[in-house]
Amino acid sequence: MPEIESLSDISRLISDIQHKKFTRSYDIALRTEELLQELISKGHWKSAKELMNLVKTRIQLVRENLPQEATAPNIMRHILKVIREEYQSASKKKDEGQSLHELVTSTPSNVLDYSDSLINLRSSILDHLTEYKVELESSSDNIAAQALEHIHTNEIILTVGKSNTVEKFLKRAAKDRIFNVIVVEGAPLYAGHTMAASLAKSNIQTTVIADSAVFAMMSRVNKVIIGTHTVLANGGLRAASGIHAVALAAKHYSVPVMVLSHMYKFCPIYVGSHNHEAFNVCASPANVIPYAFGPILDKIEVNNPVYDYVPPELVTLFISHQGGNSPSYVYRLLSELYHQDDYDI
């Protein structure tokens, strides 16, 4: 049965993510893109509708198995939008959107079915996909290219843990400006250590502090620049654990918080309450207390959450390859990336 077989590609991706074979979300993005390329060029589909259904099943599978994973579903959602657009331009029909305007001007015949099979659809979608791949590969550099607009001389910048995007950003700025960076070590993963070592290699004056010193240092920090795992639909973040406290301290001292993020991290999902089990995931407590600690281990409970929810009012700016945006504009970016009907898949 071709339907069941064809899901093996996504299952492989899911299991790779679960086994932590990817160190960066960028790698996941590339893999997803490859998967989609395979699907579109070699998959068994005749009309746009069938293709969309194939993609939708995959999105659902990922969301079932990895509720926190956002990169892969986001890219697939974007492809759905691409498919719709290509279909519309090929069949010269306009889509019924969701806006007041559309509400008022729609006619009964406007409901699009996407079921016509068009000849050039496959190639046009593939073209679009290649464009998207190029965009993906260059987005890191594009973000880094904006570095000089945001960092001036003699600034003290605070960053948390390790983010490849932030690293590139700071290194790019360091080529022309002299500034200091304070790296928060980010226990229990201590990713900040690698980040600091790498920044120091590029001749940036780096100081490493423990998580506990953030509030103390914040009064002298000029900017906080961080990466994130996901950007939620309301402009909030799902970021590494501990970043909420950093953002609160920054708010207290009125320090701007800038979040560098690629477009595939923007997720159209609203989170009702961040205590919801699907929002956060807990990692092994061995990083917090080693198993060798002793017999009291069975008398205590240890929590080691991986993510943190940061509400949108604590974020000042989102920097993506298209430029900077305020958190209140995220809804617009989302509507450009994904189609309204695909928000909920």
Residues 226-255 that bind another protein (CB under 8 A): 233-235, 240-242, 244-245, 248-249, 252
Member of 141, 305, 323, 336 binding another protein (CB under 8 A): 305
User: What is the Cα–Cα distance from 265 to 94, expressed in whole angstroms?
Assistant: 28
What's the min distance (Å) between Cβ of 124 and another protein?
27
Q: Which residue has the tokens 């996941």?
A: 28
Sign of the Cα pseudo-torsion (183, 185, 212, 20, in order): positive
Member of 206, 261, 316, 320 binding another protein (CB under 8 A): 206
Nearer to another protein, 107 or 254 (CB): 107
Nearest residue to 120 (alpha-carbon basis) of 94, 93, 95, 83: 83
Nearer to another protein, 86 or 308 (CB): 308
Is residue 23 a contact residue for another protein (CB under 8 A)? no
Member of 117, 138, 284, 328 binding another protein (CB under 8 A): 328
What's the min distance (Å) between Cβ of 46 and another protein?
31
**Residues recorded for the chain:** 345
The torsion angles phi and psi of 119, rounded to 5 degrees, stand at -70, -45
The 75-114 contact track toward another protein, x by CB under 8 A, reads -----------------------xxxx-xxxxxx------
Is residue 278 a contact residue for another protein (CB under 8 A)? no
User: Helix, strand or coil for residue 32?
Assistant: helix
Yes or no: say if 261 and 240 are a contact pair by the CB < 8 Å rule.
no
What's the min distance (Å) between Cβ of 343 and another protein?
7
Q: Which residues contact 42 (CB under 8 A, 6 or more apart)?
A: none
User: What is the Cα–Cα distance from 342 to 77, expressed in whole angstroms?
Assistant: 7
What's the min distance (Å) between Cβ of 268 and another protein?
9
Yes or no: say if 47 and 115 are a contact pair by the CB < 8 Å rule.
yes
Member of 50, 209, 322, 325 binding another protein (CB under 8 A): 209
Member of 148, 178, 197, 278 binding another protein (CB under 8 A): 197
What's the min distance (Å) between Cβ of 290 and another protein?
5
Which neighbouring-strand residues pair with 180?
156, 205
Under rule CB under 8 A, which residues in 60-79 are in contact with another protein? none
Is residue 211 a contact residue for another protein (CB under 8 A)? yes
User: What is the Cα–Cα distance from 320 to 318, expressed in whole angstroms?
Assistant: 6
The 132-171 contact track toward another protein, x by CB under 8 A, reads ----------------------------------------
Member of 143, 308, 339, 342 binding another protein (CB under 8 A): 308
Nearer to another protein, 36 or 239 (CB): 239
Angle between the N-to-C axes of helices 25-42 and 71-91, in degrees from 0 to 180, rounded to the nearest 10: 40
| DSSP characters over 136-153 | HHHHHHHHHHTHHHH--T
Bridge pairing between strands 237-240 and 307-310:
antiparallel
Member of 44, 141, 201, 323 binding another protein (CB under 8 A): 201
Under rule CB under 8 A, which residues in 282-301 are in contact with another protein? 286-290, 293, 296, 299-301
Nearer to another protein, 136 or 196 (CB): 196
The amino acid that residue 11 corresponds to is S
User: What is the Cα–Cα distance from 63 to 69, expressed in whole angstroms?
Assistant: 7
User: Helix, strand or coil for residue 7?
Assistant: coil
What's the min distance (Å) between Cβ of 194 and another protein?
5
The amino acid that residue 296 corresponds to is I
Nearer to another protein, 241 or 320 (CB): 241
Yes or no: say if 180 and 156 are a contact pair by the CB < 8 Å rule.
yes
The 173-192 contact track toward another protein, x by CB under 8 A, reads -------x----xxxx-x--
Nearest residue to 313 (alpha-carbon basis) of 322, 331, 332, 326: 326
